[in-house]
Amino acid sequence: MSAPTNQYKVDMLALDEIIPYENNPRNNEPAVDAVIASIVSFGFKVPLLVDKNNVLVAGHTRLEAVKRIIQRDPTRAEDLGHLPCFRADDLSEDQVRAFRLVDNKTSELAEWNFDMLATEVELLTEAGINLTEFGWAQEEIDCLKSVVAEDCLDPSTWERPAESADGVNTALTTKRTLSHSADGSSVRVTIGTLGFMILRDDYEKWFEQIMSENAFDFERVNDEAARRLGLLDAKVARTNYMNDVYSTNAAAPVNVADEETDEEKATLEA
């Protein structure tokens, strides 16, 4: 392989000059609407990457989003008809092919810091920015205040409770994928560094009871779980402490359910 350079060449290319890679292995369709919302809200801020023949290396979703924006509103061709493109003409054909895969794969390796994420989401919510427009599900946002942890961000764990007695469906909730025994009969409950196994049926009964008793409101369930553990006062004390820290830094206060680490919450370990 030839040694790549760190010199940047940026060209403004017309949309019809940019060629999508015909063997692009990524299905970008699910992300297009969210990227459209991002471009409409914030502008086109991330250049595309093309090879020496103007074939896309990175940016297929952004290009498709721009095309649909112009299709819906032809006047946007004035500012989006030409897009900034980095030109990777220092890479060989094999390097370009490899970079397409590596660029996508490495982004999958990053993980969220859920404490920091909860704070950022809370601040954006208070600022009136609706993250559901940008690909976030409301369940993901609500999850950050729930009694569960990382894997409640997995849509496959979201479940809708049974219809209530008055015929009204309750709000969509989340339920964790659980660590369990080999035969599936038992699940593991983890509280900080402590842990024990219980029968799955007993856990399901407990989970449904505490959820229904608190109207499937995660903040109320969170407080109730802390109360049953004898940790509600400690939980409130920690929130007050964090509010003092935020106040000192002239930042927005946090709610009772915010800024909790996995070690500080009673969670079910997946």
Helix (H) or strand (E) holding 57, with range, is strand 56-58
Q: Helix 218-228 and helix 232-248: axis angle, to 10°?
A: 120
What are 87's two structure tokens? 């030109």
pLDDT of residue 193: 65
State whether the Cα torsion 166-167-173-177 is positive or negative: positive
Three-state helix/strand/coil letters over 160-215: CCCCCCCCCCCCCEECCCCCECCCCCEEEEEECCEEEEEEHHHHHHHHHHHHHHCC
The more confident residue out of 118 and 96 is 96
Q: Is pLDDT at 204 greater than 70 in this prediction?
A: yes
State whether the Cα torsion 139-140-142-145 is positive or negative: positive
Q: How confident is the model at residue 8 (pLDDT cuts 50, 70, 90)?
A: confident
pLDDT of residue 172: 37
Residue pLDDT, tens place only, 148-179: 344 554 555 544 444 444 444 333 333 333 45
Q: How confident is the model at residue 147 (pLDDT cuts 50, 70, 90)?
A: very low
Residue pLDDT, tens place only, 125-140: 888 888 888 888 776 7
Between the CA of residue 1 and those of 24, 90, 94, 96, what are the distances in Å?
A: 22, 11, 8, 11
Residue pLDDT, tens place only, 21-64: 999 998 989 899 999 999 999 999 999 999 999 999 999 999 99
Closest among 269, 267, 239 to 255, alpha carbons compared: 239
Q: Which residue has the tokens 């729930």?
A: 146
Three-class DSSP category at 74 = helix
Q: What one-letter code names the amino acid at 187?
A: V
DSSP class of residue 82?
E
pLDDT of residue 264: 44
Phi and psi, residue 246, nearest 5° = -65, -40
